[in-house]
Structure 1
Amino acid sequence: MDARGRRKASLPPDFAGGEVEIRRGDLSRVLYEASRDTTEYLFGDHITSLTETPGGVDVTFKHAPARTFDLVIGADGMHSGVRALAFGEEARFSRFMGAYFASFSAGPLEREGELVTYNAPGRFVSAGLLVFRTEQLLDYDRQDVEVQKRIVAGAYTGAGWRTGEIIEAMLAAPDFYLDSISQIRMEQFTDGRVALLGDAGHGATIGGMGTGLGIVGAYVLAGELAAAGGDHRVAFPRYQELMRPYAWGSMGNAGKFLAPRGKRGILLRNQMVKLMSCGPVIKMMGRMDMKVASNITLPDYEG
């Protein structure tokens, strides 16, 4: 929409949808319920140190007693604590893409089956998702949600359209989340008895197929460990060999598309959207997306 609420361009659901869609929270519940009978879960805790020994990895936790494990798999996201302990600080591997996003529940402002969006220069607005451009990383406490909400509200001052209503919904939302649009790119995401999985080893915020890559990576890692009889010295290199080109080929920068910097950029993007809404173009893009999403030969692991 433009600032007066007039429709400027639109895309069919095929653009961002697949044959099956599932919310991340539902996926987490499904995976937890399928594994809880054979898996020990420690909630509300995190690893504070890792020490590799010839026979395993000595692990200390913030709350639970120290333990020794055969392997440690860091599947803890873009800001992985395991990666920081085993491979070094995040800044070594993270590339900031010039934008931030905030997601939240917007209640009655959200339209069932339709995502209505608006752009001011450098800012993308929708009920439940905000994207804004900035030249450098912001300095804030990742645990202080109220400060983060004020930062986002300040970035949208004078944006126009229904932005004020959406910001009010954001300020009241109980599930607010703010993060940079960044990429995690590592030449090696295994080291000794430690391996990284999903966004921890190859993340790309928004448009990086993060959930899908995490699931595929888990399948490959588990399969390779099983095929190698649990020998990480054989399984980890094979896991990395299969996953790295697949993960790197899926990385993009959604910030440029969602939040063009100036009015001319918004106009050009809207013209692109109109072109993309044509049936043949949508089909072509769908084929390209499927090529990226399936650009890995998955071994059929036995057992």
Structure 2
Amino acid sequence: MKNERILISGASIAGQTLAYWLVRHGFRPTVVERAPGLRTGGQGVDVRDQSIEVAERMGIMARVRVAAADVTGLQFVNAAGDSIARIDVAGIKDKLESAEVEIMRGDLVQILHEINSGTVEYVFDDSIVGLDQDADGITVTFEHGPARRFDLVIGADGLHSNVRRLAFGPEHEFVHHMDHYFAFGNADAALGPDRWVTMFNTPGRMAGIYRSGTNPQAKAYFIFRSPRLDLDHRDPETARRKLVETFADEKRWHVPALLDDILTDPDIYFDSLAQVHMNSWSTGRVALVGDAAYCASPASGAGAELSLIGAYRLAGELATANGAHHLAFHRYEQTHRPLVDRKQKIGPNLRLMAPKSRFGIAIRNTITRLPLLESMAGMERIMAPKTTAPLPNYQPTAANV
């Protein structure tokens, strides 16, 4: 087997899924993660369509279903907290006989880490600062640890990928801002009804609370329209200042309490809603997977799906090509890009969550109250382009099963 030593940057959904399949195919992956430990925070993510098949082949789908977020649906409230429109997501899924599952990102990351225990080398609290490719491999320089030699490097390190910056160029060439910013963090569960995502809107802004039926920790959500801001996404104080600037004047509903909660969360998440568009996901011995290569933005609801399927395909193509990376990277992109292109067309999701005018809010509320909504969801599912080819069944190396 060629190119057995593979470094993966990011202990993410994509990174850990890739590591799992690489081991099964006889490779020797190492995962380096900037954080001092596993990142177990995050919002709800969807395992659906062919990503369910990937999870089943990994033997984790039963655990995913047990840990499912168990959310009934979305409701929109007025300033007094009265429900003015609802979308019964669970009911629609039942009628459409959908097998998809929503799970908190942190729960899925933990499941992936557990199945990799003892088979994958993890290096936490470190990151890549230099990549020096040559004909035989890559010398990788780390922020803290000594330099090491690998055959291939895979960036699975998210929207602001460090590997992408080092190997492909500056972020602004690939990350496309979608005129919105998004924040979430821990919240008091008493502020929202169990098993519902509750949202309060003013023009161009949304404050909400997410209550999972299986997780006692509620999440506060904030979205607001804005042109691109000159902000450091890794600086929580910058995030806190911007949220205060944007939402401190709103005293209605539970906005002040949700704002107080998210401002005191040490793991507050704040970032642009953005997509990554690249002409190629590989250069030489370096490739990208997941959000680093093709983030569709949280508004798409497709991040976990693209990560699971993309990582599965990348590992499988490397195995099929016996480690010949140029051929494998080409086949991975050729087979996965059609799905990425489709998922990056996110449709009306942002207009649903954060209408930009009072008229838009009223129209949204009217539409969500109509019985036609369920029929529309069904028709969208029926009319949506189907995956043209079945998921390949890459055969694991017998010695590693």
User: Is structure 2 residue 297 aligned with structure 1 residue 205?
Assistant: yes
- Relative to the length of structure 1, the TM-score reads 0.92
Whichever residue aligns with residue 164 of structure 2, its letter is R
8 A Cα contact 1:133 1:255, kept in partner: no
Partner of 2:377: 282
1:2-60 CA distance string (max 9 Å, x none)? 12323221100236896423221111111112113121111011100111100001110
**1:30 paired residue number:** 111
The one-letter code of the counterpart of 2:324 is D
- What is the CA distance between 1:175 and its match in structure 2? 2.7
The yes-or-no answer on 1:265 pairing with 2:360 is yes
How far off is 1:90 after superposition? 0.9
Cα deviation, 1:171-203, whole Å, max 9, x if unaligned, reads: 222331001011101110111111100000000
1:218 partnered with 2:218: no
1:185–1:248 Cα contact (<8 Å) kept: no
| 1:180 matches 2:262 | no
8 A contact 2:183–2:223 mirrored in 1: yes
Residues 273 and 299 in structure 2, CA contact (< 8 A), matched pair in contact too: no
Q: Which residue of 1 aligns with 2:263?
A: 171
Relative to 1, partners in 2 of residues 1:250 and 1:276: Cα closer, same or farther, differing over 3 Å?
Answer: farther
Change in CA separation of 1:146 and 1:117 when aligned onto 2, cut-off 3 Å: same
Higher strand share: 2
Alpha-carbon offset, residue 295 of structure 1: 5.9
Please tell me whether residue 124 in structure 1 is matched to residue 206 in structure 2: yes
Moved more, 192-201 or 269-278: 269-278
Q: Confirm whether residue 144 of structure 1 aligns to residue 144 of structure 2.
A: no
**Residues 94-131 of structure 1: CA deviation (Å, up to 9, x unaligned):** 11110001011112224321121110011011021111
Q: Match for residue 231 of structure 1?
A: 324
Deviation readout 1:260-297 (Å, 9 max, x if unpaired): 111111112222322376432232244457x56x5653
**Cα distance in 2 between the residues matched to 1:225 and 1:199:** 20
- Residue 245 (structure 2) aligned to one of 154, 164, 187: 154
Give me the whole-angstrom Cα distance separating, in 2, the residues matched to 1:278 and 1:265: 17
RMSD value, Cα? 2.0
TM-score by length of 2: 0.71
CA contact (8 A) 1:184 1:202 kept: yes
**CA 1:64–1:89: 2 relative to 1, 3 Å:** same
Question: What is the identity, as a one-letter code, of the residue corresponding to 1:199?
Answer: D
Tell me what 1:55 maps to: 136
- Residue 5 (structure 1) aligns with: 81
Q: Secondary structure at the match of 1:8?
A: strand
Q: What residue identity is the alignment partner of 1:190? A: S
5+ long unaligned stretches in structure 2: 1-76, 210-219, 397-401
SS of 1:101's partner is: strand
Greater Cα shift, 32-41 or 142-151: 142-151
- In structure 1, what is the Cα distance between the partners aligned to 2:293 and 2:204? 29
Distance in 2 (CA, whole Å) between partners of 1:274 and 1:9 is: 5
Shift of 1:243: 1.1
Q: Which ranges of structure 1 fall in alignment gaps of 5 or more residues? A: none
Mean alpha-carbon deviation: is it higher for 178-187 or for 257-266?
257-266
What SS does structure 1 have at the residue aligned with 2:149?
Answer: strand
Q: Do the aligned partners of residues 276 and 65 (structure 1) sit closer, same or farther apart at CA in structure 2, a change above 3 Å counting? A: farther
Corresponding residue of 2:154: 73
Q: Is the 8 A contact 1:102 1:177 kept in 2?
A: yes
Retained in 2: the 8 A contact 1:131–1:255? no
Please tell me whether the aligned partners of residues 246 and 295 of structure 1 are also in contact (alpha carbons under 8 angstroms): no
Q: Specify the code of the residue in structure 2 equivalent to 1:300.
A: N
